[in-house]
Amino acid sequence: MSIVEQINKNKIIAIIRGIEQDKIIEVCKALYIGGIRMIEVTFNQSSLTGNQETYEAISAIAKEFGDEVSIGAGTVMTIEQAELATSAGARYMISPNLNKDVVKRCIELGAEPIPGVLTPTEIVSAYNAGAKVVKIFPIARMGGSDYLKDITAPISHIPVIAVGGVEIDTVSDYINAGAIGVGLGSNLVDKTLIKENRFDELATLAESFVKKTCL
C-alpha cells in the first residue's frame, strides 16, 4: 500500500515532537492502542544533537512496531536529513516548506516526500516536482476548512493533508472539505499526559480523534 493510500485509509498522522527519548515507545504504544497507525518524528533544527535523536527515535519505533506502524520523519529540510531518516526506517518525509531538491532526493531514496505548501501555486509546483501528496500548513490560522475547500476545489486531483491547529472538533471538517488526512501534534500528543505517564488517557484521546475522522 502506498503512503497516499495509507493516509487515505488511516486519516491521522500523529506528530512526535520534543518528547523524551525514554518515553517515545510508550507514547507510540498508547497511540497504537487508540487506533493510530501513522507516526511522524520531527527533526529539531535548533539542536546540535537533533538529527541523531530523531534517527534513534525512528529506529526504535521501527524496531518495536515493524510494519504495524508507518513511520515518517517531520521537519525535513535538508537532503542529509532525508537520507538519515530513510536509513533509520522512515518511509515518508514531511517538510514545512517546498524544497524541490529535497523532493527529488526523497523520490530517489524510495521515500514519499510531503512538502509543506499554502497556496494553489505552491500546491501545483510541489505536485509537478514529484510530490504525490502535499501538506497544507498552517491551515487553522489561514482560514481552516473553508480555506482548504476553496483552494483545493480547482485542483482536487492533488491529494492534501491538513496540518497546523487541527483540533478534535474540527478534524471531520477538514476531511469533509477534501483533505485525505490530517497531521496532529500537541492536540493529540498531549505533553501533560505524557509527562504524568497517563498513557491510558493518551490512548483514549487517540481513539476519540480516530472516531472523529469517521463522521
User: Catalytic positions, please?
Assistant: 40, 135
* Secondary structure (3-state) at 164: coil
Three cell numbers written together for 215: 463522521
* Secondary structure (3-state) at 107: helix
Vertex 175 angle, CA 214 and 146, to 5°: 140
Count of residues making up the chain:
215
Which ranges in the chain belong to alpha helices (H)?
3-10, 24-33, 50-65, 79-88, 100-109, 120-128, 144-152, 171-177, 191-195, 199-212
Rg of the chain, C-alpha, whole Å: 16
30: Cβ–Cβ under 8 A, 6 or more apart, which residues? 199, 200, 202, 203, 206
Residue 214's Cβ-count burial label (10 Å; 0-12, 13-18, 19+) is exposed
